[in-house]
Amino acid sequence: MNQLDNELSLAPLGAGDLIDRAVRLYRRHFLTLIRIAAPPVLISATGSTFTTIAFREIAATGSTARMLLYVLMILGGGLVIVCGSLFSLIVMGGATRNLVAHLLSGEPVSFRATYRAVKSRFWGLLGASLLVATWLIFAGWLAFMGFYLVFAVLMVAAFAFASVLPAWVIAIFTGLTTIAAIILGLILFFLLAGRMAYVPQAMLVEGRGVTSAIGRSFSLASGNVRRLMAMTLFTSFATYSALMLLMVPLGWYGWINGVDINPFGVAWPAWYAIGYEVVLQCSHILLAPIWMLGLSLLYVDERVRHEGYDIELVAARQLPSMPELPGVTSPFAPALVTRRAAKFVPPPFAPMLPPTVLGLK
DSSP per position, 254-267:
HHHTT----TT-S-
The neighbour count for residue 306, using CB atoms within 10 Å, is: 12
Element (H, E) at 66: helix 64-105
Question: What's the rounded mean pLDDT across residues 232-255?
Answer: 79
Cβ(277)–Cβ(246) below 8 Å: no
The confidence score (pLDDT) of residue 266 equals 57
Which band of pLDDT confidence, cut at 50, 70 and 90, is reported for residue 14?
confident
Q: Model-level pTM?
A: 0.74
Higher-confidence residue: 35 or 342?
35
List the chain domain ranges: 12-306
Cβ(75)–Cβ(54) below 8 Å: no
Q: In sequence order, which residues have a C-beta less than 8 Å from that of residue 16 and are 6 or more positions away?
A: 230
Task: Please write the tens of the pLDDT for every residue from 144-200.
Answer: 998 888 888 888 887 777 777 787 877 888 888 888 888 888 888 988 888 888 888
Task: Please write the tens of the pLDDT for every residue from 101-138.
Answer: 776 667 788 899 889 888 888 888 889 888 988 999 99
Specify the DSSP class assigned to residue 340: P
Which band of pLDDT confidence, cut at 50, 70 and 90, is reported for residue 38?
confident
Per-residue buried b or exposed e for 266-292, using 16+ beta carbons within 10 Å of the residue's own CB = eebeeebbbbbbebbbbbbbbbbbbbb
Which band of pLDDT confidence, cut at 50, 70 and 90, is reported for residue 257?
confident
